């Protein structure tokens, strides 16, 4: 009965838009024990591997062993059993790593109100559940600067998965970064319609190279565009992890995930008690971890590296906002007014492109 | 425009080749009456084995492709055992093989440390002086060795199937296994052999995807291309040359889609991604409405053969 009342109170707090979750935050019942559910294999070369690289750092900083299970598909029947097994074994902070865990984590969070849930790329939140994601447009903006400085043809390429908010904001930022150092740069974008299809990614990268593109950026999961760039003797910029591993000559820099920098303090906050999850999820900028740039290949001139790192510092210091107005889209419509910075809601539903972006969409 | 056209056509064969080889492998297996729905699985096995061999043998792509064929044939032994010897329902056995191979390749790729490692792979070669011919040289004579080998392979298989004693026996096993049995042809042996040979070709297609095309192994990287090969076989009415034509059609479309985007030609993306499948449906309708539809599937396709069984 009491638990039900507490849930009702929680729901009421949710309705009071903008306010925090109830007066009292979430407090663990015992010492923290953290466990991971990985979306793919721990050595998938990208998204999941970035978490597995954060894990030993977290273990060291938090002084605990952090177990994980791999290959948990975005399906309640696959997510629930390992999550509950961890909970039965006394783990009280469960970290998920996929958008498709959102609904199941919401259910689990209701069922286990004493357990803290964190979910990367999720969209659900609650009194003991917080989703988190990185502001990838910051790191991709910096990669765009590198690409803009290195191109000779002034034609940049980008291989993206699907045209929606979080891919569109990286594309626009990439082009804005490129134009900052090279006003003539254009960005040709190919969407593959899949996150993890190396055959389609190669097709896209080859098509871009044939169009005369000489730097290829990416927001897909495999390193294939970088491998193609190396074969064609052009450059690329990676995503997820430092992709110089796959294409040491071609990859100039990469937009990378740095989860330890965010998760260690966040877990310490949960441990301290009275934790208030962000009702809209944590949307992390370079300053707090999440995303960053792995810079740079030795072929990038020192002057460019210096400029990129200065821009990174300005982002961290809050002196520079990438989506600060005035920003017009490529059809001339004003999207961000002068003196304003785009809202998070408008970022997530971004369906327009800045001037210089060339796509097959209108 | 000409530049766009030449680049597009020049990239078509490398998209068409895996479809063509996989479809040919399926035709061999289905002409003896074994419905091989496990193509997607054999593609995965070939793709992983190819990359693994390339990494382990220090970059011998030709050897890697042979290993891809052998590995797919080895896994197909299990399928052949199920459907030929144990006479399990072929649809269920085929589907089970797909899921089995998905798990097997993810596991073995991780255990062997072959996942996500770039390889040098097999590159295109220019056959001089033919490659110096304007346009045609680039399109027809600057390709990789597997593309060049595909046409002779098709010639050989189609010749064997339609003109040789071996082909006659193979076809008789697929059309009327009881009659074939009565003339002294071992139905089980021919089916076993055809499944192995067909799967080896599908393995070659898988090896092509990983060793020649993308040059990396990633779990589930075949992206449903095995299923497209199955559809190709149906609309080719089990005829090898028609399957090659169908594969080229698919390759053309698949090569065109990203090129339209890269050139910034405005066209609805999801409609374009749908076009290979629309093409499948269109060709099926066309086949159904014309005399091509009269070319029937092998009469005993999907039917386990039990010797001297009364029906």
Does B52 map to a domain? yes
CA-nearest residue of chain A to B7? A210
Question: In this structure, what token pair is assigned to residue A106?
Answer: 């919401």
Q: State the Cα–Cα distance between residues B41 and B98, nearest whole angstrom.
A: 4
| Chain A residues lying within 8 Å of B116, measured CB to CB | 43-45, 222-223
Is residue A255 within 8 A of residue A46, CB to CB? The reply is: no
Asked if A223's CB is within 8 angstroms of B118's CB, the reply is yes
pLDDT of residue B288: 77
All CATH 3.40.50.2300 domain ranges of chain A, comma separated, are 26-134, 136-257+291-358
Does residue B103 sit in helix, strand or coil? helix
Q: State the Cα–Cα distance between residues B19 and A362, nearest whole angstrom.
A: 33
Across chain A, mean pLDDT equals: 91
The CATH H-level superfamily of A136-257+291-358 is Response regulator (3.40.50.2300)
- H/E run at residue B199: helix B187-207
pLDDT of residue A19: 41
* Chain B residues with a Cβ under 8 Å from any Cβ in chain A: 7, 11, 15, 106, 110, 115-116, 118, 123, 209, 213-216, 218-223, 225, 254-255, 257-270, 272-273
> For the domain that residue B80 is a member of, what is the CATH number?
1.10.3470
| Chain A residues lying within 8 Å of B118, measured CB to CB | 223, 227, 246-247
Question: Cβ atoms within 10 A of the Cβ of A161, count?
Answer: 20
Q: State the Cα–Cα distance between residues B127 and B141, nearest whole angstrom.
A: 6
Diameter of chain B measured on Cα atoms: 64
Q: State the Cα–Cα distance between residues A223 and A238, nearest whole angstrom.
A: 7
Q: State the Cα–Cα distance between residues A122 and A282, nearest whole angstrom.
A: 10
pLDDT of residue A96: 96
Question: Cβ atoms within 10 A of the Cβ of A287, count?
Answer: 15
pLDDT of residue A244: 93
- Region A221-249: mean pLDDT is 94
What residue ranges in A25-127 does DSSP mark as E strands?
A: 34-37, 68-69, 93-96, 116-120
For A185-204, the pLDDT digits (tens) are 999 999 998 888 899 999 99
Does residue A122 sit in helix, strand or coil? coil
Residue appearing with tokens 């803290």: A116
- Region B99-118: mean pLDDT is 92
Does B305 map to a domain? no
Q: Name the strands in the sheet holding A34-37, side by side, starting at the edge strand that comes first in the sequence.
A: A68-69, A34-37, A93-96, A116-120, A129-134, A282-284
Is residue B122 within 8 A of residue B149, CB to CB? The reply is: no
Residues B174-184 as b or e (16 or more Cβ within 10 Å = b): bbebeebbeee
Q: State the Cα–Cα distance between residues A204 and A153, nearest whole angstrom.
A: 18
Q: Does A216 touch chain B (CB under 8 A)?
A: no
Q: State the Cα–Cα distance between residues A211 and A284, nearest whole angstrom.
A: 36
Question: In this structure, what token pair is assigned to residue A121?
Answer: 């790329």
How many percent of chain A have pLDDT more than 70? 94
Question: In this structure, what token pair is assigned to residue B88?
Answer: 């399990």
| Chain B residues lying within 8 Å of A222, measured CB to CB | 116, 214, 216, 218, 221
Picking from B248, B46, B43, B49, the residue whose alpha carbon sits closest to that of residue B140 is B248
For B199-211, the pLDDT digits (tens) are 999 999 999 999 9
For A47-97, the pLDDT digits (tens) are 999 999 999 999 999 999 999 999 899 999 999 999 999 999 999 999 999
pLDDT band at residue B293 under the 50/70/90 scheme? low
What residue ranges in chain B does DSSP mark as E strands?
A: 125-126, 142-143
Question: Cβ atoms within 10 A of the Cβ of B224, count?
Answer: 12
Q: Please state whether beta strands A334-336 and A327-328 pair in parallel, antiparallel, or not at all (unpaired).
A: antiparallel
Picking from A86, A112, A119, A108, the residue whose alpha carbon sits closest to that of residue A29 is A112
Closest CB to B216 among A191, A208, A227: A227
Q: Cα dist. B234→A168, A352, B161, B250 in Å?
A: 40, 42, 17, 14
Mutating which of A39, A190, A250 best tests the B interface, going by the most B Cβ atoms within 10 A?
A: A190
Does B310 map to a domain? no
**A218: phi > 0 → left, psi -120 to 50 → alpha, else beta; which?**
beta
Asked if A227's CB is within 8 angstroms of B110's CB, the reply is no
> Chains A, B: CB contacts under 8 A, how many?
113
Q: State the Cα–Cα distance between residues A281 and A129, nearest whole angstrom.
A: 9
For A250-306, the pLDDT digits (tens) are 999 999 999 999 999 999 999 999 999 999 899 999 999 999 999 999 999 999 999
Q: With 50 as the cut, is the pLDDT of residue A17 above it?
A: no
pLDDT of residue B280: 75
pLDDT of residue B292: 66
CA-nearest residue of chain A to B212? A199
Q: Does A27 touch chain B (CB under 8 A)?
A: no
For A106-157, the pLDDT digits (tens) are 999 999 999 999 999 999 999 999 999 999 999 999 999 999 999 999 999 9
For B121-142, the pLDDT digits (tens) are 888 888 888 888 888 888 888 8
CA-nearest residue of chain B to A49? B116
**Torsion angle of the four alpha carbons A295, A299, A302, A304, in this order, in degrees rounded to the nearest 10:** -70
Mutating which of B262, B264, B265, B267 best tests the A interface, going by the most A Cβ atoms within 10 A?
A: B262
Residue B177 sits at φ, ψ, to 5 deg, of -60, -30
- H/E run at residue B161: helix B145-163
Mutating which of A202, A218, A247, A359 best tests the B interface, going by the most B Cβ atoms within 10 A?
A: A202
Q: State the Cα–Cα distance between residues A314 and A311, nearest whole angstrom.
A: 5
pLDDT of residue B123: 86
| Chain B residues lying within 8 Å of A43, measured CB to CB | 110, 115-116
Asked if B11's CB is within 8 angstroms of A206's CB, the reply is yes
Does B27 map to a domain? yes
Confirm or reject CATH 3.40.50.2300 for domain A26-134, answering yes or no: yes
Nearest-CA distance B182 → chain A (Å): 47
Q: Cα dist. A102→A249, A292, A304 in Å?
A: 39, 25, 40
| Chain B residues lying within 8 Å of A227, measured CB to CB | 118, 214-216
Picking from A105, A92, A112, the residue whose alpha carbon sits closest to that of residue A33 is A92
- Which ipTM score applies to this complex? 0.89
Closest CB to B258 among A45, A203, A222: A203
Q: How many residues does chain A have?
A: 362
User: Nearest-5° angle of CA A221, CA A227, CA A231?
Assistant: 160
Q: Cα dist. A255→A194, A228, A236, A241, A326 in Å?
A: 19, 18, 11, 7, 25
Q: List the domain range (segments joined by +) for residue B254.
A: 2-294
pLDDT band at residue A13 under the 50/70/90 scheme? very low
How many structural domains does chain B have? 1
- H/E run at residue A207: helix A198-210
């Amino acid at each position: 009965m009491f638990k039900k009342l507490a849930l009702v109170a929680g729901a009421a707090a949710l309705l009071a838009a903008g306010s925090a979750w109830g007066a009292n935050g979430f407090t663990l019942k015992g010492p923290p024990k953290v466990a991971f559910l990985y979306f793919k294999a721990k050595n998938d070369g990208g998204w999941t591997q970035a978490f597995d690289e954060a894990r030993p750092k977290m273990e060291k900083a938090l002084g605990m062993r952090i177990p994980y299970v791999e290959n948990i598909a975005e399906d309640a029947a696959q997510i629930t059993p390992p999550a509950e097994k961890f909970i039965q074994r006394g783990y009280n902070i469960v970290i998920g790593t996929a958008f498709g865990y959102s609904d199941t984590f919401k259910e689990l969070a209701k069922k286990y109100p004493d357990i803290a849930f964190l979910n990367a790329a999720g969209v659900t939140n609650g009194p003991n559940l917080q989703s988190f994601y990185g502001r990838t447009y910051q790191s991709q903006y910096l990669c765009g600067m590198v690409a803009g400085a290195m191109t000779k043809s002034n034609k940049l390429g980008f291989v993206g998965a699907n045209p929606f908010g979080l891919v569109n904001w990286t594309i626009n930022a990439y082009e804005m970064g490129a134009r900052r150092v090279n006003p003539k740069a254009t960005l040709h974008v190919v969407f593959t319609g899949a996150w993890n299809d190396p055959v389609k990614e190669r097709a896209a990268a080859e098509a871009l190279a044939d169009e005369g593109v000489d730097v290829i950026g990416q927001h897909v999961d495999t390193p294939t565009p970088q491998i193609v760039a190396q074969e064609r003797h052009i450059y690329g910029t990676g995503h997820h992890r430092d992709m110089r591993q796959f294409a040491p000559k071609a990859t100039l820099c990469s937009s990378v995930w740095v989860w330890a920098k965010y998760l260690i303090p966040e877990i310490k906050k949960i441990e301290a008690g009275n934790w208030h999850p962000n009702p809209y999820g944590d949307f992390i900028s370079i300053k707090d971890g999440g995303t960053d740039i792995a810079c740079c290949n030795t072929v990038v001139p020192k002057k460019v590296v210096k400029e990129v790192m200065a821009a990174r510092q300005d982002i961290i210091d809050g002196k520079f906002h990438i989506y600060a107005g005035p920003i017009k889209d490529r059809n001339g419509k004003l999207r961000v007014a002068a003196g304003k910075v785009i809202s998070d809601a408008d970022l997530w539903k971004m369906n327009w492109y800045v001037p210089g972006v060339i796509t097959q969409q209108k | 425009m000409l530049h766009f056209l030449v680049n597009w056509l020049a990239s078509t064969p490398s998209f068409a080749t895996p479809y063509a080889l996989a479809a040919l492998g399926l035709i061999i297996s289905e002409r003896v009456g074994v419905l091989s729905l496990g193509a997607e699985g054999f593609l995965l096995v070939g793709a992983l084995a190819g990359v693994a061999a390339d990494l382990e043998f220090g970059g011998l792509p030709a050897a890697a492709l042979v290993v891809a064929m052998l590995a797919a044939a080895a896994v197909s032994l299990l399928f052949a055992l199920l459907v030929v010897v144990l006479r399990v329902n072929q649809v269920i056995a085929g589907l089970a093989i797909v899921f089995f191979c998905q798990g097997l390749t993810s596991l073995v790729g991780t255990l062997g440390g072959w996942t996500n490692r770039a390889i040098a792979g097999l590159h295109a070669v220019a056959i001089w002086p033919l490659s110096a011919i304007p346009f045609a040289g680039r399109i027809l004579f600057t390709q990789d060795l597997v593309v060049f080998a595909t046409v002779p392979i098709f010639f050989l298989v189609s010749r064997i199937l339609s003109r040789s004693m071996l082909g006659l026996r193979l076809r008789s096993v697929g059309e009327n296994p009881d009659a074939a049995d009565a003339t002294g042809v071992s139905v089980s042996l021919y089916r076993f052999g055809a499944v192995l040979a067909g799967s080896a070709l599908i393995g070659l297609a898988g090896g092509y995807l990983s060793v020649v095309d993308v040059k990396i192994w990633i779990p589930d990287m075949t992206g449903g291309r095995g299923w497209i090969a199955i559809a190709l076989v149906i609309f080719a009415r089990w005829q090898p040359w028609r399957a090659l034509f169908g594969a080229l059609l698919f390759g053309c479309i698949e090569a065109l889609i990203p090129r339209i985007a890269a050139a910034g030609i405005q066209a609805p993306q999801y409609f374009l991604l749908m076009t290979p499948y629309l093409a499948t449906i269109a060709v099926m309708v066309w086949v159904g409405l014309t005399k091509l539809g009269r070319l029937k599937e092998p009469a005993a396709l999907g039917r386990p053969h039990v010797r001297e069984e009364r029906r």
